[in-house]
Amino acid sequence: MSTTPLRYAVFGAGGIATVHLDMIATQPGVTLVGLCDPADPSTWRIQKQYADAPRFTDPATMLRETKPDLVSVCTPNKFHAELSLLALQHGAHVACEKPMAMNMAEAEAMETARAQAGKLGLINFSYRNVASFRFAREIVARGELGRLLRVNCVYLQSFLGAPAQPYAWRNDVSIAGFGALGDLGVHMLDGVRFITGLEYERVVGLAQILIPEKKDAAGKTHRVTTDTNAAWLSELSGGVIANFETSQVAPGYGNYFRIELSGEHGTLVVQSDTPDDLWLHAGASLTRYATWKTDLPKQAVPTEFFRNLKPTTPAGIVRAIRGEAEDFPTFADGVRAQRMLDAIGQSMQSQAWVTLG
Ligand SMILES: NC(=O)c1ccc[n+]([C@@H]2O[C@H](COP(=O)([O-])OP(=O)(O)OC[C@H]3O[C@@H](n4cnc5c(N)ncnc54)[C@H](O)[C@@H]3O)[C@@H](O)[C@H]2O)c1
């Protein structure tokens, strides 16, 4: 494995930056050359071992002075496009958080700039690395379920409903762009596409704001302008019907992301809560007979499959920069998901189906 020296910098020093740093900055040959965040460093949430890296508040200054080969964009959504474009202009590869951008135009501009710069772009669709999701993808790709017939996907959380959860940038549409749709829905859109290998053809959707206001940490009340829950129905290539529901205000649900699909020879379920198991009732002979009770058998992802599983997604771009064949979620995948987010928004406006180009 190559360990070509790589200079690495990060925009945003909050919660998800810790994941990027642990995945990327720890790799052999990678040097952390800068961290950029306009907030007071006492509020930064990065791990101690990275705290000595040069600190910046101005993005262009960091890029000019540190000349990174790779930059992670770990800021609120509003800044993803602007900072990714700046990093590409300065000759860096980019690992950007999801959702890719605030809208389709921004996402397309990012992918165009990336292609023109001849650099790699990753969007951190982190569930792509869950063992059961990858194993499910392999089962589908091998045709073991036969022709796909239906998809059902839910992603439910409760945190936003809790009064103890203070108002944050995630509740402001001018900074987050979306609520549950952009935070959770984008993982659902990519996860279903990743496992089934199918593309979205058309969609009709609805979203709501069920919590009108929230108090911030200082006790000041703010209006919530992002969707707290959403549902959409879509048709995938080949006429497969897929339905989706997401919520950040479903009491009792911590982080429950579940994808269920049936093909003519079986039904398969994966869940984020149990990343090493899946539920599978499959086999052409078995499924010739009707089943009269619901008892999808639980199966452990085979041990050997884990041995072949590479470290989580942000790390994939390092290997790809070093010329290794690598399977990671790209800017093009981000554009696909963004196109669906825009289409769901259009459908809500028009109250009609929207066909994807
Ligand atoms: N892939 C995943 O599963 C996953 C999980 C959590 C968060 N995320 C994404 O990561 C991003 C950040 O979320 P978070 O939870 O880390 O948020 P956070 O609020 O914990 O941290 C964001 C940080 O960015 C900083 N910041 C704001 N504007 C900036 C700018 N212009 N330049 C540099 N830094 C800036 C803030 O000061 C803050 O320190 C979001 O896009 C979110 O959707 C993805």
For 238, residues 6+ apart whose C-beta sits below 8 A from its C-beta are 147, 148, 198
For 331, residues 6+ apart whose C-beta sits below 8 A from its C-beta are 94, 96, 100, 107, 110, 111, 114, 121, 122, 123
Residue nearest to atom 25 of ligand 1 (CA): 12
CATH class of 128-309+338-355: alpha beta
pLDDT of residue 327: 86
pLDDT of residue 293: 84
pLDDT of residue 291: 86
pLDDT of residue 115: 98
pLDDT of residue 198: 98
pLDDT of residue 190: 98
pLDDT of residue 321: 96
Output DSSP code: residue 312: P
**CB-CB neighbours of 297 under 10 Å:** 9
292 burial type by CB count under 10 A (0-12 exposed, 13-18 middle, 19+ buried):
exposed
**CB-CB neighbours of 293 under 10 Å:** 4
CATH 3.40.50.720 in the chain is located at 6-119
- pLDDT below 70 — which residues of the chain? 311
Q: 131 in ligand 1 pocket by Cβ < 6 Å?
A: no
CATH class of 6-119: alpha beta
Q: 76 in ligand 1 pocket by Cβ < 6 Å?
A: yes
CATH 3.30.360.10 in the chain is located at 128-309+338-355
Q: How far is the CA of 339 from the centre of ligand 1 (A)?
A: 22
pLDDT tens per residue, range 207-260: 999 999 999 999 999 999 999 999 999 999 999 999 999 999 999 999 999 999
pLDDT tens per residue, range 150-166: 999 999 999 999 989 99
pTM here is 0.97
pLDDT of residue 357: 76
